[in-house]
Structure 1
Amino acid sequence: MQTHFTEEDLQKPHIREADRVLRTCVHCGFCNATCPTYQLLGDERDGPRGRIYLMKEMLESPEDDTQVTEETRLHLDRCLTCRNCETTCPSGVEYHKLLDIGRAEIERRVPRRPAERALRLGLRKALVEPKRFQALLKLGQTFRPLVPGALADKMPPTPVDAGVRPEGRRHARQMLILEGCVQPGLSPNTNAATARVLDRLGIGLTPAPEAGCCGAIDFHLNAQEAGRARMRANIDAWWPHIDKTGEAGVEAIVQTASGCGAMVKEYAEVLADDPDYAAKAERVSALAKDLVEVLRDEDLATLEVKESRRLAFHCPCTLQHAQRLNGAVEQVLRGLGFTLTPVQDAHLCCGSAGTYSVTQPELATQLRDNKLDSLEAGNPEVIVTANIGCQTHLAGANRTPVRHWIEIVDEALTPATSNELRATSSP
């Protein structure tokens, strides 16, 4: 794609990066074929190619250009950032990087109305602090009839109890785990189940309670500096366990939510121009692993899983398109003896997409219902996934039960394994 930025424009880092990304696009339109919003709406401006043109025109236009309006922002807001288009693109266009630049620019040029700003600020403040979120969640569950339907659907009435979590320090092999911001409240058993399964494999989880939200919520709601601050705080929390003088540091930083994993793996890119954190961010991103990347390299026979349930696996966009781990969880589950039902259009987004299901509820609901139809076509007993956002969004329809896949693996451990674990664990 030909661009028309001035030399003065190209002195700005974000314009220089946008120019690089734009020049890789060849207008082919393959991306529209796999774009969930284009398929629903049929509007070129609601597909990647159209949005690229909108962002190009905006970035090349003068500050006072009247063509840049709320309508431009609407089409950018409707993007799920699922990155399906990147998987499809034959030219390797890094669309998500251009989208981050375009969204920040439209936010600056066309300020949102007070109600929209309040909603986005409220989401940021409510979701990113685990203790605050858990307090709000308990309040919402208590007064559930008063909670708006879109939010009430995302609150599990009775999350699965976390059970016993093993003491990780008793193992020579150590990894960090990102506990997450909303997952401890919405699905407290996910990380506990992860700890139990890894314990059986001889891997302990080193606690790093100072680490908090990965930064994705702030970053993708156009509070990018706040997101970077959270990234730096996490690096500071993890660094003493990574950079250990005279002894081995942790093997990896494990994420059980694929959305967080995608973000942590991008710390190196996001903080590349930060002289104090660039090198550390690069190291952290190199250590970041989705849980499935850990398990697929281990001897899974050690787990002694006994299971026959039929599962349908929903592969989150952040796992298959951002982290490029499509098929990895399915391979592990089949290797453990689970039966997986076929899922049509598995590449399409479920509509969760971070806070998208709150900011774009109508589109998100259509995408969710379409996804559930595909997942339930093979009559699975349980739907499993790898991201807390997808899990709560799909479960909100109150159809087939939806769980994190590691919980199902944990439940399938032999009784002897469970008894042994409880005997060697701290409450």
Structure 2
Amino acid sequence: MQTTLSEHARQLPRAEEAESILRSCVHCGFCNATCPTYQLLGDELDGPRGRIYLIKQVLEGNEVTQKTQQHLDRCLSCRNCETTCPSGVDYHNLLDIGRAVVDAAVPRPAGQRLLREGLRNVVPNPGRFKVLLNSGQALRALLPAPLQAKLPRRIEPARPRPVTRHERQVLMLEGCVQPSLSPNTNAAAARVLDRLGISVTAACEAGCCGAVDYHLDAQAAGLDRARRNIDAWWPSLENGAEAIVQTASGCGAFIKEYGHLLSADPDYAEKARKVSALAKDLVEILRDEPLEQLGVHSDQRLAFHCPCTLQHAQKLGGTVETVLTRLGFSLTPVPDSHLCCGSAGTYSLTQPELSRQLRDNKLNALESGHPDVIVTANIGCQSHLDGAGRTSVRHWIELIDAALP
């Protein structure tokens, strides 16, 4: 796509990157065929091709409006379009650049600002989030139905973790909301890894991966969180930790971007590159291990929801399914498994109507094979889908842990 950036746009730190991405798009429109919001709304500007055109207009100096902002806000950042694109357009990075320019030019209404600032102040902070969750649980009966749906139906308490005892060691990102919403997930991962001769080393100083801030109009704050995590992990990496494991694919996708997002930071570029290279989704560790020695046995029928951050961002679609099949689980077919469930981080709160439609469509597909339970690989998808009150949704590692002899 031919483009000429305005003089103002050329001063942006990522101007050259934006221009390169824009020029790689041939406007074929294949991306619209797999875009969840385009399928729901049928509006060209609510598909990747239209949003690319809007960003192009903005960077060429045309007027920026609330309508522009609305169409960019409606994007789930699911990156399905990147999987589909024959030209390899780096859409999500262009979207991040475009959103930053638009958000700087268009003040949000007070309600939107309050919601986004509230989310940024609560979600990345495990302590605050736990207090809010506990308060919600206590007052559940008094809350309106949409808020009740955001609360977990049940919280599986964390079983004890094994002590660090193996020569092979990995770090594990604890996450910000997962310790409260699903405290047994990381504990289950530690127990399964321990059975395979791998110990999990704690890095308590590491906090939220930074994605919440970064995708809620606060990119600089998100990158500051990334720097703090790098500092927290670095001593253990120097002492031989072989990987930084995530059980939430959304966090993993963002950590794998640290190297790119901090490439211009002279103090962190090299460290960020190494951290991104060592960031592994849990399934990347398990798939290469002798899983058969676990002796897992289960007759449950599972439907696996592959999060967008796992299949489109990390390119690990089919990997969890292969691991579960190797372990003897029975997997049901899932139509349109490439489509987003509508969780998308905080999207279910900032775009609730679209999010609910996508959730219900996804649950219909997941339940079509009549599974006993639905499993997934991201806490956001898990809580969003389970909030519908239909088939129970859990993290896949918990099913493996429960089936250990």
Matched, 1:345 2:336: yes
| Structure 2 CA distance for aligned equivalents of residues 50 and 44 of structure 1 | 5
Q: Which runs of 5+ in 1 are unaligned?
A: 415-427
3-state SS of 2:369 partner: coil
Matching residue of 1:153: 149
The TM-score with structure 2 as length reference comes to 0.98
3-state SS of 1:400 partner: coil
After the TM superposition, which residues 199-238 of structure 1 pair with which residues of structure 2 at under 5 Å, given as runs?
199-238=194-233
Shift in CA distance, 122/402, structure 1 to aligned 2, threshold 3 Å: same
3-state SS of 1:313 partner: strand
Letter in 2 for 1:360: Q
Alignment deviations for residues 80-113 of structure 1 (CA, whole Å, 9 cap, x no partner): 0000000000000000001001111111111101
| Structure 2 CA distance for aligned equivalents of residues 100 and 391 of structure 1 | 25
After the TM superposition, which residues 275-290 of structure 1 pair with which residues of structure 2 at under 5 Å, given as runs?
275-290=266-281
After the TM superposition, which residues 126-145 of structure 1 pair with which residues of structure 2 at under 5 Å, given as runs?
126-145=122-141
Pairwise CA distance, 1:146: 3.4
| Structure 2 CA distance for aligned equivalents of residues 31 and 106 of structure 1 | 23
Pairwise CA distance, 1:307: 1.0
Contact 2:153–2:389 (Cα < 8 Å) also in 1? no
Pairwise CA distance, 1:9: 4.1
Letter in 1 for 2:61: S
Matched, 1:90 2:86: yes
Pairwise CA distance, 1:11: 4.5
Letter in 2 for 1:291: L
| Structure 2 CA distance for aligned equivalents of residues 18 and 148 of structure 1 | 43
| Structure 2 CA distance for aligned equivalents of residues 147 and 278 of structure 1 | 46
After the TM superposition, which residues 267-416 of structure 1 pair with which residues of structure 2 at under 5 Å, given as runs?
267-414=258-405
Contact 1:271–1:278 (Cα < 8 Å) also in 2? yes
Matching residue of 1:52: 52
After the TM superposition, which residues 40-119 of structure 1 pair with which residues of structure 2 at under 5 Å, given as runs?
40-61=40-61, 65=63, 68-119=64-115
Contact 1:150–1:358 (Cα < 8 Å) also in 2? no
Task: Give RMSD over aligned pairs.
Answer: 1.1
| Structure 2 CA distance for aligned equivalents of residues 243 and 33 of structure 1 | 45
3-state SS of 2:394 partner: strand
Contact 2:26–2:87 (Cα < 8 Å) also in 1? yes
3-state SS of 1:225 partner: helix
| Structure 2 CA distance for aligned equivalents of residues 342 and 8 of structure 1 | 50
Shift in CA distance, 346/37, structure 1 to aligned 2, threshold 3 Å: same
After the TM superposition, which residues 21-32 of structure 1 pair with which residues of structure 2 at under 5 Å, given as runs?
21-32=21-32
Contact 1:141–1:157 (Cα < 8 Å) also in 2? no
Pairwise CA distance, 1:150: 2.9
| Structure 1 CA distance for aligned equivalents of residues 221 and 145 of structure 2 | 29
3-state SS of 1:176 partner: strand
| Structure 2 CA distance for aligned equivalents of residues 9 and 217 of structure 1 | 25
Letter in 2 for 1:136: L
Identity rate, percent: 67
Alignment deviations for residues 277-331 of structure 1 (CA, whole Å, 9 cap, x no partner): 1111011001000000000000001211011110000000000000000000000
Pairwise CA distance, 1:5: 1.8
Matching residue of 1:241: 236
Matching residue of 1:175: 170
Contact 1:368–1:393 (Cα < 8 Å) also in 2? yes
Letter in 1 for 2:37: T
Letter in 1 for 2:201: T
Letter in 2 for 1:3: T
Matched, 1:262 2:258: no
| Structure 2 CA distance for aligned equivalents of residues 189 and 8 of structure 1 | 50
| Structure 1 CA distance for aligned equivalents of residues 186 and 373 of structure 2 | 19
| Structure 1 CA distance for aligned equivalents of residues 9 and 95 of structure 2 | 18
| Structure 2 CA distance for aligned equivalents of residues 230 and 192 of structure 1 | 24
Alignment deviations for residues 345-381 of structure 1 (CA, whole Å, 9 cap, x no partner): 0000000000000000000000000000000000000
Pairwise CA distance, 1:7: 6.3
Letter in 1 for 2:121: K
Q: Which runs of 5+ in 2 are unaligned?
A: none
Letter in 2 for 1:303: L
| Structure 2 CA distance for aligned equivalents of residues 281 and 306 of structure 1 | 40
Matching residue of 1:2: 2
Pairwise CA distance, 1:132: 1.2
